[in-house]
């Protein structure tokens, strides 16, 4: 059996390394000049990046608007419905000269003001994300509910009912306008 000559093996490895180095050096030609991007590719990339950014921003804005509309429209019937019920109880007590007339009047006033405050709080939370026309309808309701609370507070058995009826009509109109503007579930 023949043994491997260490000198021959070392010489063969060194020769192989030199040959590989020469091949690599021959392939590595230096190009003179300054590296510049391909202007057409760069313009296309910038356009695509801007469009992607606009789409992401638009998508976030649409999602925030949908959430704000859903939050406000979902709670509106429940919040305002309590005010309607208490107001109707007051009207029934007024018309019947009921002994609990004053208590029902105060409950109606309190509930109408509470509904206006809750709707206004939701409106304020969604001010930047609610569509302006819907925000305007919520604001109209808040104004009308507070006016009805004020007129209700003024009521006595001898007070004229005209201003109260007008205020009630404005609340009903404002409430219907919001319900009509909100998406149907």
Q: What is the pLDDT of residues 109-144, one digit of tens each?
A: 999 999 999 999 999 988 789 999 999 999 999 999
pLDDT number for residue 11: 75
**64-181: CATH topology:** 1.20.120
What value does the mean pLDDT of the chain take? 85
What are the boundaries of each domain within the chain? 64-181
pLDDT number for residue 126: 81
- What does residue 153 show for φ and ψ, rounded to 5 degrees? -60, -35
CA 143 to chain centre: 23
pLDDT number for residue 50: 61
Model confidence, pTM: 0.68
Burial of 18 (0-12, 13-18, 19+ CB in 10 A): exposed
Q: What is the pLDDT of residues 39-62, one digit of tens each?
A: 776 666 666 666 666 555 567 777
* Integer angstrom CA distances of residue 96 from 4, 31, 150: 122, 101, 21
**141: nearest Cα among 159, 123, 164, 160:** 123
pLDDT number for residue 32: 76
Structure tokens at 173: 């109109």
Q: Which residues contact 151 (CB under 8 A, 6 or more apart)?
A: 163, 164, 166, 167, 168
pLDDT number for residue 68: 87
């Amino acid at each position: 059996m023949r043994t491997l000559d260490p000198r021959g093996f070392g010489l063969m490895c060194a020769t192989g390394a030199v040959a590989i180095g020469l091949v690599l050096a021959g392939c590595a030609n230096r190009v003179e000049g300054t590296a510049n991007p391909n202007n057409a590719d760069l313009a296309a990339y910038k356009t695509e990046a801007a469009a992607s950014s606009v789409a992401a921003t638009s998508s976030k804005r649409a999602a925030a608007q949908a959430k704000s509309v859903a939050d406000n429209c979902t709670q509106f019937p429940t919040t305002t419905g309590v005010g309607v019920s208490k107001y109707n109880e007051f009207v029934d007590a007024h018309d019947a000269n009921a002994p609990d007339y004053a208590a029902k009047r105060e409950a109606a006033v309190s509930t109408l003001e509470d509904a206006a405050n809750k709707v206004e709080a939701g409106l304020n939370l969604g001010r930047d994300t609610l569509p302006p026309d819907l925000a305007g309808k919520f604001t109209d309701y808040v104004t009308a509910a507070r006016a009805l609370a004020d007129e209700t507070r003024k009521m006595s058995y001898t007070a004229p009912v005209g201003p109260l009826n007008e205020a009630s009509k404005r609340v009903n109109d404002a409430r219907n306008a919001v319900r009509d503007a909100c998406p149907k579930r």
